[in-house]
């Protein structure tokens, strides 16, 4: 089965003048337009207004307590994905909600892998080559063990290369873990050395440099990438989102 999972606390609401969370809503709608059947799983706090999405098919809303999110946002994301009830061979995409889908992301699974990540558009110059906004896996015991190792390393790090990274429970513990894997892909710890990783590239998670509105606008207009990610505060502003939606 094809599954897309996100975790959202409603934090984009402050960017919307009419109190309508148009970025989140249109992220989900854009995914549904490009894949009419995948199971969309939304873990959300009570802050999130889901009424505009209620009529979508194959959508599952799961309420979580925001106090379990405070000061451990990124760790909670990893744990939530790991603890969700998956079936063997499920195809799973984990995504941020500040993005628009321009193509069907499950095309990624035409490739053979256990786990995929996406490198940045400027990976040659970026300090962190990976952005965690879109990742995924084919569920198996291998992936279950991979997530256990990941969580254990965040809470009690024994992998020296990872311990040298700047991360904590709230920031970086997901992205920096994946960056450490990418940077050491030929010298991984034994516990995860059997996993086949795949770089789906920035086509599936396009982040611009220096908050370049025109770059993102062009990518949406020409559908030259599969996913655009409005990373950072600037591009999430209501005035920018409205302009993107005109051509989405």
Band (18; pLDDT cuts 50, 70, 90)? low
Distance CA 56, CA 28 (A): 9
Whether residue 215 is contained in a domain is answered as: yes
What's the confidence (pLDDT) of residue 58? 98
What's the confidence (pLDDT) of residue 57? 97
More confident residue, 67 or 182: 182
Whether residue 110 is contained in a domain is answered as: yes
Band (127; pLDDT cuts 50, 70, 90)? confident
The length of the chain in residues reads 248
Domain that holds residue 209: 2-122+129-140+198-247
CA atoms within 13 A on the CB side of 139: 18
Whether residue 111 is contained in a domain is answered as: yes
When mean pLDDT is compared over 16-20, 30-34, 67-71, the highest value belongs to: 30-34
CA 218 to mean position of chain CA atoms:
22
Dump pLDDT digits (tens) for 94-122.
999 999 999 999 999 999 999 999 999 99
Distance CA 208, CA 7 (A): 23
Whether residue 160 is contained in a domain is answered as: no
The SS3 assignment for 187 reads: coil
Distance CA 244, CA 248 (A): 6
**Is the pLDDT assigned to residue 197 strictly greater than 80?**
yes
Whether residue 75 is contained in a domain is answered as: yes
For range 211-227, the mean pLDDT? 98
What's the confidence (pLDDT) of residue 212? 97
Distance CA 2, CA 39 (A): 6
**Is the pLDDT assigned to residue 194 strictly greater than 80?**
yes
Whether residue 174 is contained in a domain is answered as: no
Dump pLDDT digits (tens) for 48-72.
999 999 999 999 999 998 887 889 9
Whether residue 20 is contained in a domain is answered as: yes
Q: Which two three-digit tokens encode residue 72?
A: 């451990």
Share the mean pLDDT of the chain. Answer: 95
For range 184-203, the mean pLDDT? 97
Percent of the chain, pLDDT > 90?
Answer: 88
CATH number for the domain including 22?
A: 3.90.550.10
What's the confidence (pLDDT) of residue 99? 97
Backbone angles phi, psi at 47, to 5 degrees: -70, -20
Band (123; pLDDT cuts 50, 70, 90)? confident
pTM: 0.96
Number of domains the chain contains: 1
Residues contacting residue 160 through CB under 8 Å, at least 6 positions apart: none
Q: Output the CA–CA distances (angstroms, integers) from residue 168 to 104, 197, 231, in the order listed.
A: 33, 24, 20
**Is the pLDDT assigned to residue 125 strictly greater than 70?**
yes
What's the confidence (pLDDT) of residue 16? 64
Cβ-contact 198, 116 below 8 angstroms: yes
Whether residue 180 is contained in a domain is answered as: no
């Amino acid at each position: 089965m094809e599954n897309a999972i996100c975790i959202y606390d409603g934090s984009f609401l402050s960017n919307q003048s009419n109190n309508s969370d148009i970025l989140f809503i249109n992220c989900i709608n854009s995914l549904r337009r490009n894949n009419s059947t995948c199971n969309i799983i939304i873990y959300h706090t009570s802050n999130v207004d889901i009424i505009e999405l209620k009529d979508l098919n194959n959508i599952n809303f799961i309420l979580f307590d925001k106090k379990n999110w405070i000061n451990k946002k990124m760790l909670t994301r990893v744990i939530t994905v790991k603890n969700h009830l998956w079936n063997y061979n499920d195809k799973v995409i984990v995504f941020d909600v500040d993005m628009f889908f321009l193509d069907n992301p499950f095309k990624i699974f035409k490739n053979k892998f256990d786990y995929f990540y996406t490198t940045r558009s400027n990976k040659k110059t970026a300090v962190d080559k990976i952005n965690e906004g879109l990742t995924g896996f084919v569920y198996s015991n291998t992936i279950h063990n991979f997530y256990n190792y990941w969580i254990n390393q965040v809470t009690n790090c024994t992998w020296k290369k990872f311990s040298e990274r700047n991360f904590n429970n709230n920031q970086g513990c997901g992205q920096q873990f994946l960056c450490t894997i990418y940077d050491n892909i030929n010298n991984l710890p034994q516990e995860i050395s059997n996993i086949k990783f795949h770089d789906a590239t920035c086509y599936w998670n396009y982040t611009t440099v220096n908050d370049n509105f025109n770059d993102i606008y062009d990518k949406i207009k020409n559908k030259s990438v599969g996913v655009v990610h409005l990373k950072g505060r600037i591009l999430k502003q209501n005035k920018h989102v409205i302009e993107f939606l005109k051509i989405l």
